Amino acid sequence: MSDIYRKRLDTLQDSLNHNGFDACLIMQEENRRYLSGFTGEDNSVDESSGALIIGPKGLILATDSRFELHATHEAPLFEIHVYKKGLDKDIPELFDRVGATRVAFEETRVSVGRFNMFTKALNEKGSTVELVPHEDMTAPIRAIKSADEINIMREALTIAEAAFSAVKGRLVPGLSEKAIAWEMEKEMRTRGADGLSFPTIVASGPNAALPHAVPGDRTVNPGEPLLIDWGSRYNGYCSDSTRTVVLGTPCDTFKRVFDTLFEAQALAIDAIKDGASGKAVDAVARQFIEKTFPDGFGHGLGHGVGLEIHEAPRLSYLKDHTLKAGMVVTVEPGIYLPEWGGIRLENMVLVTENGAEVLNTLDYHDHVVAI
């Protein structure tokens, strides 16, 4: 395993040097794990189980006493430093130890308060180290998955799909959205998931017009859309899928929306390949949908999946990313009609040299639940 982390660290160091940095400070949980193997979790944005300080003269994993043994076992490439009075008190010494002069840090992870604490500590020590915000120096590296990462994600998806199939077989009118979400969670955990990729979305009838609806007490009725968006986390990696089913006979609106989305998704997946533009792939699906439902599809077409449920790259009309072989993205067009409801179809797709491989195995056309 050490060879995997050495390769990732070498790639990161090359990127840092190319962008004028000689060191970096890594505090985001997923980035720490990706670069070191340390699996310590952060419970909130203002709580950290540790930080990586990476520089030309060394690699340090700084943490507190709760995680000392944890870090020692999981991150053998790193010197483990246990801080007693908080990371900010020791940061000048740690930067000096790794030979840092210009340090990139994750601007989306380090709060203003924490940045001010680091800056104050450096100033008090008379340090000339420069701390520079960076969008995310690890994102381009993490976006391209290794064969091992892809296999782990396949397992996460297998667990999630088996859970859905089990719950789908027990769906009946009168079940609440909350009850269905709980059944999904139990099934995923029973089948080996470490946890959920995100809180399961279950939305019935008009609630399905809310792309990120929160499951409530509303009960499912025959003939209306029932949207379920779920994912399992396995060995740190996420899966993400959405299926929309109907109990009993679907209405004409359900059929029109479903067929439109099915075709739009197929067209978008056909456009995915190494070198393709994420913005262009989004446009393929969006333009097809807008011919029939001009205002129905508002969000981006998809996103990368990995250690985070939402990561690079994006399939979006807002920002363009170039797709590369080894990336895993969702393709999830949706149409949402206020007062009626909505349908979203989502598969995970592996970008290959010549096209795309759909990782999901569940059949979309098996969406009618007999009652």
Query: How many CB atoms lie under 10 A from the CB of residue 299?
Result: 16
pLDDT score for 250: 95
Do 355 and 224 fall into the same domain?
yes
* pTM of the predicted structure, to 2 decimals: 0.95
CA dihedral sign, ordered 188, 190, 194, 200 = positive
Looking only at Cα atoms, what is the longest distance across the chain?
Answer: 73
Do 285 and 162 fall into the same domain?
yes
CATH number of the domain encompassing residue 292: 3.90.230.10
Taking 70 as the pLDDT cut, the residues of the chain under it are 1
Do 151 and 127 fall into the same domain?
no
pLDDT score for 238: 98
Do 347 and 315 fall into the same domain?
yes
CATH number of the domain encompassing residue 35: 3.40.350.10
- The identity of residue 107, as a single letter, is E
Using the 3D structure, point to which of 91, 118, 141 is the last residue of a domain: 141
Q: Which domain holds residue 119?
A: 2-141
pLDDT score for 151: 98
Do 257 and 289 fall into the same domain?
yes
Query: How many CB atoms lie under 10 A from the CB of residue 251?
Result: 14
Q: Are strands 102-106 and 130-134 parallel, antiparallel or unpaired?
A: parallel
Q: Omega before 313 cis (within 30°)?
A: yes
**Rounded distance between C-alpha atoms, residue 24 and residue 7, angstroms:** 16
In terms of Cα–Cα distance, which of 96, 134, 103 is closest to 21? 103
* Contact present, 61 and 79 (Cβ < 8 Å): yes
What torsion, rounded to 10 degrees, do the Cα atoms 107, 37, 351, 143 define?
Answer: 10
**DSSP-assigned states of every residue in 36-103:** H------SSTT--S-EEEEETTEEEEEE-GGGHHHHHHH-TTSEEEE-SS-HHHHHHHHHHHTT-SEE
pLDDT score for 296: 84
**Rounded distance between C-alpha atoms, residue 37 and residue 274, angstroms:** 29
pLDDT score for 1: 64
pLDDT tens profile 301-353 = 999 999 999 999 999 999 899 999 999 999 999 999 999 999 999 999 999 99
pLDDT score for 369: 85
- The identity of residue 110, as a single letter, is V
* Contact present, 342 and 208 (Cβ < 8 Å): yes
Do 214 and 362 fall into the same domain?
yes
Q: Indicate the number of domains in the chain.
A: 2
**Rounded distance between C-alpha atoms, residue 26 and residue 31, angstroms:** 7
